[in-house]
Amino acid sequence: MSGHSSYEFSNPVVKWLDSRLPIVTMVKAQAMDFPTPKNLNYWWTFGGILATMLVIQLITGIVLVMHYTPHVDMAFDSVEHIRRDVNYGNIIQKLHANGASFFFIAVYIHMFRGLYYGSYKAPREVLWMIGVAIFLAMMATGFMGYVLPWGQMSFWGAKVITNLFSAIPFFGEAIVTWLWGGFSVDNATLQRFFSLHYLLPFVLCALVFLHVWALHVSGNGNPVGVEVKSGQDTVSFHPYYTMKDLFAILVFLLFLFGFVFFSPDYLGHPINYVEANPLVTPAHIVPEWYYLPFYAILRSIPDKLLGVVAMFASILILFILPWLDTSKVRSATYRPRYRQLFWILVVVCLGLGVCGAQPAEGGWVIASRILTAWYFLHFLVFLPLLGLFETPKPLPSSISESVLAKQAAKSTAAAQPAE
C-alpha cells in the first residue's frame, strides 16, 4: 500500500475537493500510507504524545484566557476565580499546569531517545535542529506562563531570570529595563509576558509542522539505526502505528489525569498560592522542576556573566551535536562505550536537577560544578573522540535481519529442554 501518489476516491465530494486541493491525497500519503520502519519501539511514540500535549495545552489555555485577567491587581484573584467559580475551571486549570510538566517529561524522553539512537545524525540533522528550536520555544513559553498567576514564585522567578540579562556588559541594565517595560517587574511585564505566552504556542505549532515535514523527508530512524529498505522493512503508518501511538497516548494521559485528579499540586510550589509581594522575598527561589538542571549550571559558576553563558550554551550546544558526534554508527545498541557514556549523561542531568533544587551553598555547589564540567566534556570532548576510537559491534545488514535474528534466538531458547 505504501508509496501511492494518486488515489481514486469513490465519494464525489471528496473527489471534487481533492482535484482542486489535494488535501485528502496528502493526508492519506503522509499520515496513513507513510512507510514506517517495522521495528519502532515505544520510545518512538513520544512524538505523537508530544503533539497530543501541545493540543491539550492550546485548548485548556484558550479556555483559561476566557476567564483570566492579565493585570497585577486582578491576575491572582482571576486564577482563584477560575479554580473556584468557573464550571470545570479547577480541572481545566490543573490540566494546563500539570500538562506543562508532562509536556516536559515527554520532551525529555523524546530528546534522550534521540541521543540514545543517534536520531540527530545524517540525514536528520535539520529535523534535530528544529527540535532544539522547539525545546527553546517550550522553555520560553513555560517560563512566561508561570508568571501569569502572579503568585510569589511567579514574581520572584521572573525577577531572578530577567535580571540575568543585566550580566551582559554595557547594555545589560538597558536590556532588563526593556524586558520589564519599566524599572521593576510590574504590570507592563505581566502584560507582555501574557501576550507572548499566548503567541509562542502558535510559533511552536509552526515549528512542529516544519519538524514533521523534515521527518517525512528523511523518514523515521529506527532502533537498529541502519537504513530501511522500502517495502521489506516498512509497514504503513496506519493502522500499525496509529494504534500503537494511540495506546501509548492513552497510557500517558492516565498518568497525567492521575496527577490532575489525585495530586494536582504535587509538581507546583505552595508559595505560589500567596499573591506576589515585591516587598517580601521568599527564603528560597526555585524554578519549576523542568528548568532545574539548567538553573544548577547557571549557579555552579561564580561569575554571573559566565554562568548565564554556560546556561545558554548547555542548550545551544545541542544545535551542533550532529557534528560533534563523529561516529558513523547511529544506535547505541551497537556502541558499547557510547552506551555507558549515555547512561552517565542521564545520571549527570538528573544530578544537576537535584542540585538545582538545593540552596547554592557548600557541597551542592561543588557537586554542580563537577556535573556541569562533565556535561560539557561529554559533548565537546568525549563524543568527538569516542567516534574516532570506539570499535562498534557489527551491524545487521537490514532491520529485517535484526528482527528475524531476535525471533530465531527466542525460538531456539524455547526449543531448549529445561534443565
Query: What Å distances lie between residue 241 and 37, 45, 189, 220, CA to CA?
Result: 10, 8, 44, 12
Contact 82, 67 (CB under 8 A): yes
CB of 288 to ligand HEM, least distance (A): 17
* Region from 86-94, 103-111, 260-268, 287-295 binding ligand HEM, contact rule CB under 6 A: 103-111
Q: Which is nearer to ligand HEM, 51 or 164 (CB)?
A: 51
Q: Which is nearer to ligand HEM, 51 or 58 (CB)?
A: 51
- Report which residue type is found at 7: Y
CB of 124 to ligand HEM, least distance (A): 5
Determine, following the binding rule CB under 6 A, whether residue 291 of this chain makes contact with ligand HEM: no
Query: What Å distances lie between residue 3 and 29, 33, 236, 242, 340, CA to CA?
Result: 7, 7, 9, 18, 39
Q: Which is nearer to ligand HEM, 206 or 373 (CB)?
A: 206
Q: Which is nearer to ligand HEM, 61 or 70 (CB)?
A: 61
Which residues, in sequence order, are bridge partners of residue 320? none
Q: Which is nearer to ligand HEM, 99 or 151 (CB)?
A: 99
Site string for ligand HEM, 116-145 (x = CB under 6 A): -x-xx---x--xx--xx-xx----------
What are the CB-based long-range contacts (under 8 Å, 24+) for 340-343? Answer: 341/378, 341/382, 341/383, 341/386, 342/115, 342/116
Residues 11-50 touching ligand HEM, rule: CB under 6 A, are 44, 46-48, 50
Determine, following the binding rule CB under 6 A, whether residue 403 of this chain makes contact with ligand HEM: no
Determine, following the binding rule CB under 6 A, whether residue 114 of this chain makes contact with ligand HEM: yes
Number of residues that bind ligand HEM (CB under 6 A): 27
CB of 129 to ligand HEM, least distance (A): 8
CB of 234 to ligand HEM, least distance (A): 13
* Region from 114-122, 141-149, 186-194, 264-272 binding ligand HEM, contact rule CB under 6 A: 114-122
Residues 203-262 touching ligand HEM, rule: CB under 6 A, are 208, 211-212, 215, 220-221
Q: How far apart are CA 75 and CA 356, in angstroms?
A: 28
Q: Give counts: helices (H), strands (E), the chain.
A: 17, 2
166 alpha-carbon distance from chain centroid: 28
What 3-state class would DSSP assign to 35?
strand
Which residues, in sequence order, are bridge partners of residue 236? 35
Determine, following the binding rule CB under 6 A, whether residue 329 of this chain makes contact with ligand HEM: no
What 3-state class would DSSP assign to 328?
coil
Instruction: State the CB neighbour count (10 A cutoff) for residue 182.
Output: 12
Contacts (Cβ under 8 Å, ≥6 apart) of 415: none
* Residues within the interface to ligand HEM (CB under 6 A): 44, 46-48, 50-51, 54, 107, 110-111, 114, 117, 119-120, 124, 127-128, 131-132, 134-135, 208, 211-212, 215, 220-221
